[in-house]
Amino acid sequence: MLAELKLKNFLDLLSTSTNDELIWMNGYLSGVLAKQGVQQQAAQVTASAAPAVNKITIAYGTETGNSKKLATEFGLKAKKSGINAKVVNLEQYRLTDLPKEEYLLTIVSTQGEGDPPAGAKKFFDHIHNNGFKLDNLKYGVLALGDTSYPLFCKAGEEVDQQLNRLGAERLVPLIKCDVDYEDEAEGWFSQVLNQLTKSATNGTATVAAPAVVAKKSTGKKIYNGTLLTNINLNDRGSKKETHHIEIAAEDIDYLPGDALGVIPENPLRVVEPIVDLLGIDKNKTFTFRHEDVTVFELLKKKLNIFFLPERVVSKYATLVAQDIPSTKIGLLDLLKIYPLQNKAQFEQLIEILEPIAPRLYSISSSPEAHSGEVHITVARDKFHVNDEWKCGLCSDYLSQLPNESKVEFYIHKNSQFRLPADDKDIIMIGPGTGIAPFRSFLAHRDTTGATGRNWLFFGDQHFVTDFLYQTELQNWMETGVLTKINVAFSRDQKEKEYVQHKMLKNGQELYEWMLNGASIYICGAKEPMSVDVEDTLMQLVEKFGNKTIEEAVQFVEQLKDEGRYLKDVY
C-alpha cells in the first residue's frame, strides 16, 4: 500500500493523464516488474482467469458521443483482459460481417420517437428486414436513453429482441441506462468479462437468461433556476422571433457544446377547456408515476396533451370504441370530436397519455465567461394548421416567461461536440439558432485566452432584423477573438444566398485551414442545411484539393474519424 502522500500524487497523475499516457505507464511498469522477477508470478495469476475468447466486436450507435465513449473505454478494458476487441461505429459496420461474428456487443442510444441514431439506421433496418439466421452469435446490448421520454431505450430494446429472434444467444441481459449511465454501464461490461472468463474456466460460455433487465433510473440532476433575461433578438419587421434567455442557478455543471433540457408546461388556454369539457374536479388527486398529483397538475405539468402521437390516438380509439384516423391531434380536439363515454374513463385516459417530453436547446453561454448562469437561444416556432396559427409547445412556453420566473432544467452532455485544444483552429457553420453553441465557444475561448483561430459562417433572412448577437460578434472581431466572419442573408437580394455559397467563395482558404488541422462544426437544421453544407464541403475539397469526388468523400470521412468534423443538428 502507498503512503498517503504518494497515493494522492499517484491518483492526481492518473486523473490528469490521457489514454495514451496511461497505456505508456502500464507498459513501463510492466518492464520494471519484469526486471524484478514479478511479472512471471503475475502472469501465472492472470492466466488462471484468462478468457478463452480471442476476439469480440464492440459496435456503437451514437448521436451525442456517449455510446462511442463507452465503446472505446470497453475496448481498452477488453484488451487489458487479453481479448482482442474491435471497436466500430454501426455507421461503418460491414453488414456482411454479422453472420461471421461470434461475440458482438452493441451499445446504442435512442432518439426522438424511439428511433436509433441516424448512423445506426442501416444496421437497424438490416436486422429487421432480412431473413437470415445468427445461430452462432453470442451478444449483449447496452441501451442508453432518457427516462423523461416515453419510449425509453426503445432502439436498444428492439436490437436486443431482434438479434434474439434471429437465433443469437444473449451473453448478458439487456441493461437500460438513464442519462446518469456510468455505473450501470461499468457493471454491464463487468458481467460481459465475467461471462467470457467463464468460457475459459468451464470450457463453454454460460449464456444469459432471456429476461430483459431494465435499469432503474437514479434520476438526472434537476436544477432550479431563476430567469434573469428574456429578450427577442430579432428587430421590428422580422418574420422571426428568437429569444435570448439567461437563467441563474447554483453549481451548474456544463461545458460548451452541451444542451439544456427543459420540460415545458401546457398553456392554460388548452388545460382549462379540457377540465370544463370533462366536467371533472380539477383538485381531484390521481397517482402518476408514483406521485400523487391533482387533475390540474396532470394536465398542466405532467401529460402531453398538445399534439398526441399516432400511437396514443390509436389507444384512445380503442378506449372509446371509435374508428379514428391515424393522425396527430391535440387532446382537446380529440375529446370534442370523440368524447369519452363517461367520467370514469378519465382514469383510463391518464394511463394511455404520455408524459411531456423534454426539449433540448444548445447552450449559448460559457461556464468560464458566465459564472452561475446558463444561456439558451430559442426560436419561437410558428406554423399554420387549418388556416390557424399555432406555436410549438416549448418555444412558446419559454418565450412568454417573464423575468424572475422559476425554471426547472437539466444538462444534457454532448461529448461529440467539444472544443479542441486551445491552440487548434475551428471553423463554425451555424445559420439561425445554430449560432447558439458558437457564441458559447467564442465566449469560452475569449475568457480562457485560447490561441487557436476562429472562423464563423452565419446566415439568416435579413441583415437589419435577423443578425443574431451582432454586437457581440463585432466586438469579438475587433478584439481578435473572431479571426474571420462570413455572413449570408438570404432575402436581402434577388438571388437567395446561404452559408454554403459563402463557403464556396472562400473555398481555397477553407481548404487550407482544414489541411492545417482546423476542426469543422455545424449546428442548425438537419435538413436541408447540414446536408447542403456537407455537399459544399465535398465540392470545395474536390476543387481546391484537386481530388476526385471519391477522394473528396474520403477526405471528409477522415475528418470525421479524426474527430475534426462535428455536427449538432436537429
Q: What is the mean pLDDT of residues 505-516?
A: 97
Distance in angstroms (rounded) separating the CA atoms of residues 328 and 321: 18
Instruction: Give tens-digit pLDDT for 309-364.
Output: 888 999 999 999 999 988 778 999 999 999 999 888 999 999 999 999 889 999 99
Lowest mean pLDDT among 52-66, 259-273, 469-483: 52-66
Closest CA to 497 of 453, 458, 471: 458
Per-residue pLDDT at 3? 53
pLDDT of residue 15 exceeding 80, the answer is no
Instruction: Give tens-digit pLDDT for 145-170.
Output: 888 788 889 999 999 999 999 999 99
Distance in angstroms (rounded) separating the CA atoms of residues 466 and 235: 7
Angle at 569 between CA 507 and CA 453, to 5 degrees: 45
Report the largest interatomic distance among the alpha carbons of the chain, rounded to a whole angstrom.
84
Instruction: Give tens-digit pLDDT for 70-94.
Output: 999 999 999 988 899 999 999 999 9
Per-residue pLDDT at 386? 61
Identify the burial level of 569 via C-beta atoms within 10 angstroms of its C-beta, where 0-12 means exposed, 13-18 middle and 19 or more buried.
middle
CA 360 to chain centre: 9
Closest CA to 145 of 63, 75, 38, 245: 63
Instruction: Give tens-digit pLDDT for 23-47.
Output: 445 544 544 444 444 344 434 434 4
Distance in angstroms (rounded) separating the CA atoms of residues 67 and 258: 16
Distance in angstroms (rounded) separating the CA atoms of residues 225 and 83: 47
Integer CA distances (angstroms), 63 to 69, 89, 108, 416, in order: 11, 11, 9, 8
Instruction: Give tens-digit pLDDT for 422-480.
Output: 999 999 999 999 999 999 999 999 999 999 999 999 999 999 999 999 999 999 999 99
Q: pTM of whole model > 0.85?
A: no
Q: Which domains does the chain have, with CATH numbers?
A: 1-45 (no CATH), 49-202 (3.40.50.360), 268-352 (no CATH), 426-569 (3.40.50.80)
Per-residue pLDDT at 205? 47
Q: What is the mean pLDDT of residues 96-105?
A: 94
Q: Any idea which residue has 465540392 for its cell?
A: 539
DSSP E strand stretches across 345-437: 359-362, 373-379, 382-385, 388-391, 406-412, 426-429
Q: What confidence tier does 1 reach under pLDDT thresholds 50, 70, 90?
A: very low
